[in-house]
């Protein structure tokens, strides 16, 4: 057995009842293991996969690959397993000499609990992000408006006197 109950995530059960860790928490790499039967005259192999939830002492059985009619003698089975970040476990057991393969594909329960935690803090909250974004845009627009007024003297000019027609001007002087 490898790993303890806090780091173990996905395991297989060995013939002696112990659990062998295939994937530890947060580990998304694929695995390749070589399995051998517990006894020489064993005619079948049941590879059972277990999910170890945090804080729970008893693992949950999530699936099994049944490999019956094993050839006599020293048999080696190749286990290839892959766990995606979306929580899909794909496993295949192959007998190299005969080319026979059995596979399993299963969704791991409550995989959302095992994803990396969302960064907590002031900027991680979406409401504050929106507020700070709007504030940033408003300050940028205010600075741009102030620069336009400074450069163009916008709103600082006095209005020129209205044009007066000649005849109206002559009438007022006469």
Helix spans in the chain (H): 126-152, 166-173
Torsion of CA 126, 129, 131, 133, to 10 degrees: -140
pLDDT (0 to 100) of residue 166: 62
pLDDT (0 to 100) of residue 150: 82
Q: Could you tell me which of 89, 46, 80, 77 has the C-alpha nearest to residue 64?
A: 46
DSSP E strands in 3-123: the ranges are 8-13, 19-24, 31-35, 45-51, 60-67, 77-83, 88-95, 101-107
**pTM for this entry:** 0.57
Consecutive 10-residue averages of pLDDT for the chain (174 residues):
55 86 79 83 84 82 84 79 85 84 84 49 66 93 90 73 66 62
pLDDT (0 to 100) of residue 53: 81
Contact 50, 108 (CB under 8 A): no
Distance CA 150, CA 162 (A): 27
Q: Determine the 3-state secondary structure of 35 from DSSP.
A: strand
pLDDT (0 to 100) of residue 118: 53
Q: Determine the 3-state secondary structure of 7 from DSSP.
A: coil
Question: Domains, the chain, ranges and CATH?
Answer: 8-114 (2.60.34.10), 122-173 (no CATH)
pLDDT (0 to 100) of residue 160: 74
């Amino acid at each position: 057995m490898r790993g303890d109950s806090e780091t173990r995530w996905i395991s297989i059960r060995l013939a002696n009842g112990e659990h062998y860790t295939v994937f530890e928490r947060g580990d998304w790499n694929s695995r390749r293991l070589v399995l051998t039967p517990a006894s020489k005259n064993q005619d079948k192999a049941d590879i059972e996969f277990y999910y170890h939830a945090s804080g729970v002492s008893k693992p949950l059985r999530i699936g099994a690959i049944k490999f019956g009619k094993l050839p006599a003698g020293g048999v080696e089975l190749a286990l290839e397993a892959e766990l995606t970040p979306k929580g899909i476990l794909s496993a295949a057991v192959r007998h190299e000499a005969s080319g026979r393969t059995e596979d399993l594909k299963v969704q791991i329960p409550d995989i959302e609990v095992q994803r990396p935690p969302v960064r907590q803090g002031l900027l991680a909250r979406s409401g504050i992000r929106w507020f700070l974004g709007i504030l940033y845009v408003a300050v940028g627009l205010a600075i741009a408006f102030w620069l336009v007024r400074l450069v163009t003297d916008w709103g600082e000019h006095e209005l020129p006197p209205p044009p007066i027609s000649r005849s109206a001007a002559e009438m007022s002087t006469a």
